[in-house]
Structure formats: C-alpha cells, structure tokens
C-alpha cells in the first residue's frame, strides 16, 4: 500500500486573530511582513502601498473627512503599534487614543404614570399650572383633554374612553391641582381629517349646459336620447325571423 499525501487543512479558528476583520487576512499578513523589513525606506514604501490597497478596498468612504488618517490608525492597530514607520501627519498613533472609555449616558428620568399620553401632555399640564389667567387656563385644559382623548383612542382602540376618565387622568397628572366641571365635554378630534369643508372632485366632472364636450358629442353624431334603444320589441322581431326563415 503506497503512502498518499494528506492535505492538511488549517481552519481559521487555529490561525491568528484578526484585529480588523473587514480588511481581510492578507492585509494583516502584509503588515506583519512590513514589520520584518530591515531597510527603513523599503519598509516605508511597502507600508504606503498597503495604505493604497486599503484605500481601494473602501471606495464608499473616499469622501469621508480624514479617511487616510483613519487608515493609518487602523494600520498601527493591526501592527499592535509595534512598527517603525512615520505617518504623513508626523504623529504616531497611541493605543490610549483608540480605546477611549465613553461617558455614561444617564437614562432620562420621568414620571411613569399614564405613559400612553406621552411626555408632551405632561409639559402642557405644567404649562397650564403656571398660567395666571383663569379663562386661558380653562381653554388650555380643554384642549389638553381633547388631545388626551385622541391619544387614548389611538393606543387603546379596543377600549372605550369617556370624558370622566380623561378628567380623572388630568387630576392625576396635575397632582390634584387641575380640575374641571362635571358637565365639561371634550371635543372628539379625528387624526388625519380636516374639519374644513370638503369638495367632491366628482362634482367638477358633471355635464353643464353649454359644455364643449356635450356640444361635440351632439355634433359628431353621438347618442340620441330620442332614438329607440331596443328592448322587448327587438327581441320579438328576432324570434319572428327565426320562426319564418326557410329550411335549408
């Protein structure tokens, strides 16, 4: 039995880790080879060729500001900042500049009561509380109540909402500082529907006396209202012809 050469397959899991996988393994191997070039001028020319190749691999980012500077930062990162080369800017990237810890973004704190009305309703209620004119305050509260009724029907279509529910929610959101009369009624707002008069476009296509289309139709031999239009008489004539036609 003869010995056969067995092809050894190297899986990617057994190879070195790619620092930036979007550039591919060949770019990583080129940069690792550039680190071993002893001559400074040859190493510089070799690295510039790698930068041009990386530039061609991302044509969609050519119009990005400082894109080449970003490529040099990526090259240093792939080389683990252990390469004797000077970028065109004259400043060598430092690992601390690429691994900045972002600041913690605080989560917005807001009252979680009746969140389906939205945060703007709470701002409007706070605005109504600061108003001194009682007439304007009452008008604003009525507008707020109408909008709350619309918002409730938008997010809770399966449940029916009454004015008493809206009044109770206004008292809850204002911590009992706003109250309405018992006979107050909120207007039913409809989203996407204008309250102004609507005109039907079909009315514009109606025939009017003296219309040029009607005149042209009558002058060109169109239909005549006085002309007979078939009916049962024509059907009787057809039946009579079938019965009296000669046999062939």
Mean pLDDT of the 216-235 span: 50
Average pLDDT of the chain?
Answer: 75
- 40 near 34, Cβ under 8 Å? no
Mean pLDDT of the 45-71 span: 87
Segment 1-35, tens digit of pLDDT: 455 566 777 777 777 888 888 898 899 999 999 99
Q: What number of other Cβ atoms are within 10 A of residue 225's Cβ? A: 6
- 25 near 14, Cβ under 8 Å? no
Supply the pTM of this predicted model. 0.39
Considering only residues 94 and 126, tell me which one the structure prediction assigns the higher pLDDT: 126
Q: So what's the pLDDT on residue 43?
A: 92
Segment 114-156, tens digit of pLDDT: 877 888 888 888 899 898 888 888 888 889 888 888 888 777 7
Q: So what's the pLDDT on residue 222?
A: 46
Two tokens, residue 20: 């930036």
Q: What number of other Cβ atoms are within 10 A of residue 155's Cβ? A: 11
CA distance 69 to 51: 10
- Is residue 50 scored above 90 in pLDDT? yes
């Amino acid at each position: 039995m003869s010995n056969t050469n067995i092809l050894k397959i190297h899986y990617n899991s057994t190879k070195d880790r790619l620092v930036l996988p979007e550039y591919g393994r060949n770019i990583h191997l080129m940069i690792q080879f550039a680190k071993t070039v002893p001559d400074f001028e040859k190493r510089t020319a070799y690295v510039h060729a790698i930068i041009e190749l990386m530039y061609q691999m991302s044509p969609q980012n050519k119009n990005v500001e400082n894109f080449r500077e970003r490529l040099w930062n990526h090259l240093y990162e792939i080389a683990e900042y252990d390469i004797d080369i000077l970028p065109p800017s004259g400043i060598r990237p430092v690992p601390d500049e690429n691994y900045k810890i972002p600041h913690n973004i605080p989560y917005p704190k807001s009252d979680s009561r009746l969140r389906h009305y939205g945060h703007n309703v709470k701002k409007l209620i706070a605005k109504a509380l600061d108003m001194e004119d009682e007439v304007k305050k009452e008008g604003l509260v009525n507008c707020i109540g109408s909008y709350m009724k619309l918002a409730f029907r938008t997010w809770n279509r399966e449940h029916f909402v009454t004015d008493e529910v809206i009044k109770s929610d206004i008292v809850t959101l204002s911590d009992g500082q706003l109250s309405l009369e018992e006979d107050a009624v909120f207007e039913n707002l409809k989203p996407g529907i204008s309250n102004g008069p609507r005109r039907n476009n079909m009315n514009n296509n109606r025939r009017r006396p003296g219309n040029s289309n009607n005149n042209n139709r009558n002058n060109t031999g169109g239909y005549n209202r006085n002309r007979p239009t078939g009916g049962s008489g024509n059907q009787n004539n057809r039946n009579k012809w079938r019965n009296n036609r000669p046999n062939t």
